[in-house]
């Protein structure tokens, strides 16, 4: 969901300079190559894990992503007077998913445990009351902003109807991926109207509409390919809702990056930025799809 900024004036490269590293064309080609390589490794692993693996394997993958995304979020939030407790934020972002995998665990228990340790940790590791409050708030924000939404991916896979859960989770990932891709390329080509210029100047209305349309297309693709039991009306609605929710998650992460003055959440994923950059669309889309399933598809 990223349209390009207005092109700045740049000096032309010498006529003899080939299109390679160091030129815009070469940089774009290198970035695209890194994105494709990362996707070529990640997509098959995710698909096999979801369709053939047990629920705990999905939980483990989500836990790793949540921990790394929480680490990145803590780095974005950090400033001299506000230093999140990064290890607790990472741990808490994993623990909040446990009730989705093990229904016998009370939903509030991980939050109570993390909150207690956060307050104790802030009291011990931060010098004054202001720093203790800022550290506690930032730490719990990361757990709620990153860990809890990602927990709904585990919740989808762990539904009693396992085949439904698998298919819904694959649909979610395909809809988000197609939506992000369509938004990026359509926004790059024809994006003229800025969606949220104060938050993310590169995002365009045209790209957002393309992302929503691509989400609906993903729903149709799921119906005719692997998810025949999903009615066409629900497929279209889910795709559109996931597309809209994905835009919301993308903008929410952009607020953090803009406040921190950062382009990417990190450089952990070659060509993609960080884990938070890759999962930002899932932060709202996962809960939306889960509650859609609970309300209309059970």
pLDDT tens track for 207-248: 999 999 999 999 999 999 999 999 999 999 999 999 999 999
Does 225 reside within a domain?
A: yes
DSSP per-residue codes, 78-105: -BTTB---HHHHHHHHHHTTHHHH-TTS
How confident is the model over 176-195, as pLDDT tens digits? Answer: 999 988 998 898 899 899 99
**Whether residue 178 sits in one domain with residue 298:** yes
Does 91 reside within a domain?
A: yes
User: How many domains does one find in the chain?
Assistant: 2
Look at residue 136 in the predicted model and tell me its pLDDT: 95
**Whether residue 126 sits in one domain with residue 180:** no
Look at residue 16 in the predicted model and tell me its pLDDT: 38
**Whether residue 293 sits in one domain with residue 166:** yes
**Whether residue 245 sits in one domain with residue 118:** no
Look at residue 239 in the predicted model and tell me its pLDDT: 96
Look up the pTM and report it.
Answer: 0.85
Per-residue b or e along 252-279, where b marks 16 or more CB atoms closer than 10 Å to that residue's CB: bbbebbeeeeeeebbebbeebbbbbbbb
Does 22 reside within a domain?
A: no
Among the listed residues 218, 190, 217, 191, the one whose alpha carbon sits nearest the alpha carbon of residue 203: 191
d(CA 128, CA 221): 56
The residue ranges of the chain whose pLDDT is under 70 are 1-40, 42, 270-272
d(CA 287, CA 100): 12
CA distances from 246 to 42, 102, 165, 208, 234 (A): 20, 27, 19, 10, 18
Task: At 276, list the tokens.
Answer: 């938070």
Look at residue 274 in the predicted model and tell me its pLDDT: 84
**Whether residue 237 sits in one domain with residue 146:** no
Choose one of 158, 183, 200: the last residue of a domain: 158
Task: At 96, list the tokens.
Answer: 């909040």
Q: Which domain holds residue 201?
A: 161-298
**Whether residue 280 sits in one domain with residue 200:** yes
**Whether residue 151 sits in one domain with residue 193:** no
Look at residue 119 in the predicted model and tell me its pLDDT: 93
Look at residue 262 in the predicted model and tell me its pLDDT: 85
Look at residue 12 in the predicted model and tell me its pLDDT: 36
**Whether residue 197 sits in one domain with residue 131:** no
The answer to whether the beta carbons of residues 183 and 248 sit under 8 Å apart is no
Choose one of 108, 133, 158: the last residue of a domain: 158
Does 17 reside within a domain?
A: no
Does 1 reside within a domain?
A: no
**Whether residue 85 sits in one domain with residue 123:** yes
CA distances from 149 to 7, 68, 93 (A): 35, 14, 9
- Which distant-in-sequence residues (6+ apart) come within 8 Å of 279 by Cβ? 65, 69, 150
**Whether residue 249 sits in one domain with residue 205:** yes
Instruction: For residue 273, give the DSSP letter.
Output: B
**Whether residue 188 sits in one domain with residue 153:** no
Task: At 12, list the tokens.
Answer: 């032309």
Does 24 reside within a domain?
A: no
Look at residue 227 in the predicted model and tell me its pLDDT: 92
Does 25 reside within a domain?
A: no
Instruction: For residue 269, give the DSSP letter.
Output: B
Choose one of 118, 139, 158: the last residue of a domain: 158
Look at residue 202 in the predicted model and tell me its pLDDT: 85
**Whether residue 185 sits in one domain with residue 94:** no
């Amino acid at each position: 969901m990223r349209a390009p900024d207005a092109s700045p004036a740049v000096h032309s490269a010498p006529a003899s300079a080939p299109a390679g590293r160091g030129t815009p064309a070469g940089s774009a080609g290198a970035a695209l190559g890194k994105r494709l390589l990362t996707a070529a490794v990640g997509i098959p692993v995710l698909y096999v894990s979801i369709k053939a693996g047990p629920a705990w394997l999905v939980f483990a993958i989500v836990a790793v992503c949540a921990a790394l995304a929480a680490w990145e979020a803590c780095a974005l939030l950090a400033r001299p007077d506000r230093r999140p407790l990064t290890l607790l934020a990472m741990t808490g972002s994993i623990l909040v998913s446990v009730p989705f995998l093990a229904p016998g665990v009370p939903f509030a228990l991980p939050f109570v445990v993390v909150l207690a340790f956060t307050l104790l940790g802030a009291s011990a590791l931060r010098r004054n009351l202001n720093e203790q409050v800022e550290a506690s708030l930032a730490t719990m924000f990361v757990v709620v902003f990153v860990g809890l939404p990602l927990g709904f991916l585990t919740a989808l896979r762990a539904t009693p109807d396992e085949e439904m859960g698998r298919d819904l989770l694959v649909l979610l990932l395909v809809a988000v991926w197609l939506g992000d891709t369509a938004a990026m390329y359509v926004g790059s080509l024809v994006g003229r109207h800025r969606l949220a210029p104060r938050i993310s100047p590169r995002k365009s209305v045209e790209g957002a509409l393309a992302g929503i349309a691509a989400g609906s297309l993903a729903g149709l693709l799921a119906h005719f390919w692997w998810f025949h039991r999903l009615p066409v009306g629900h497929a279209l609605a889910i795709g559109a809702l996931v597309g809209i929710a994905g835009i919301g998650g993308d903008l929410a992460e952009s607020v953090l990056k803009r406040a921190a003055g950062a382009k990417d959440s990190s450089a952990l994923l070659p060509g993609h930025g960080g884990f938070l950059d890759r999962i930002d669309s899932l932060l709202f889309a996962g809960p939306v799809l889960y509650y859609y399933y609970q309300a209309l598809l059970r």
